[in-house]
Amino acid sequence: MRTALRSLWVWTAIITLIVVWLPLLALVRLFDRDPARYRTGRWFRRLGMMMTKINPAWQIHITGDFPDNPRHPYIVVSNHQSNADIPLISCLPWEMKWVAKAELFKLPVVGWMMRLAGDIEVDRKDKRSRAQVFITARQYLKDRCSVMFFPEGTRSRDGRVLPFTDGAFRIAIKTKVPILPLVVEGSQNALPKHDWKFGTIEHIRLHVFPPIPTDGLTGNDAEALREQVRQQILDQLAAWRGVAPDAVDAQAKTPNA
């Protein structure tokens, strides 16, 4: 009963925040003259930050060094464990436009706010949509705003890291923008999939790695850069869990394979 009441309160607070935030965000957008809609985006991320603060079941621990200049553009990449990653990463103190699947933009209210904030819609089945991501991302980077990717393309079902796609790394190399890797741990059970109740306290970690420069790299280096970043994330997850990196790698072969 106690868990149900607490969860009911949290969901009521989240829904109230979302409803209140829409007209506020529209007003901010009306007066935002920045070509990257930087202020609008920051206000949208504050909604995610507020969602983490009102949930007593989420204990957030953020480590690493933040960029000195929030307007220095990066291609930001992270592993992806659950939808809780979105409000969690929104706690970082700089704006970045999120590359997200087209279905999210069709959601009432939340999808409208994503459009207001200038997030980047992608239909992975449509080559033209994927090409448009590069064009839009490049413009945001020119306007001194970072762009955020989940290179796994979807959430991990078991907490292991899925294969990374090349897209984010190719964009970073072509635009000569550094890669800024993140790693998330503990969010897999933080947002219930088949249950509306939040359970026991989840300790969620987010670590910001030092940026990786792409100067001098070519398209032929995209795969090596991708694997370098992925291995960095694997090593950190393995260290946190006290296991070997293969234990957190969805690509690793099992002994019976």
Question: Could you give the CA distance from residue 113 to residue 90 in angstroms, rounded to a whole number?
Answer: 14
Tokens of 166: 């090349």
pLDDT of 13 > 60? The answer is: yes
Confidence at 257, pLDDT banded by 50, 70, 90: very low
* H or E element, residue 62: strand 58-64
Q: 103 CB contacts (<8 Å, ≥6 apart)?
A: none
What domains lie within the chain, and their CATH numbers?
2-248 (3.40.1130)
Lowest mean pLDDT among 159-163, 176-180, 186-190, 238-242: 186-190
- Neighbour count for residue 34 (Cβ, 10 Å): 15
pLDDT, tens digit (0-9, with 9 covering 90-100), for 56-105: 889 999 999 999 999 999 999 999 999 899 999 999 999 999 999 999 99
Angle, in degrees to the nearest 10, between helices 38-53 and 110-117: 140
Whole-number pLDDT of residue 35: 97
The average confidence (pLDDT) of the chain is 93
pTM recorded for the entire structure: 0.93
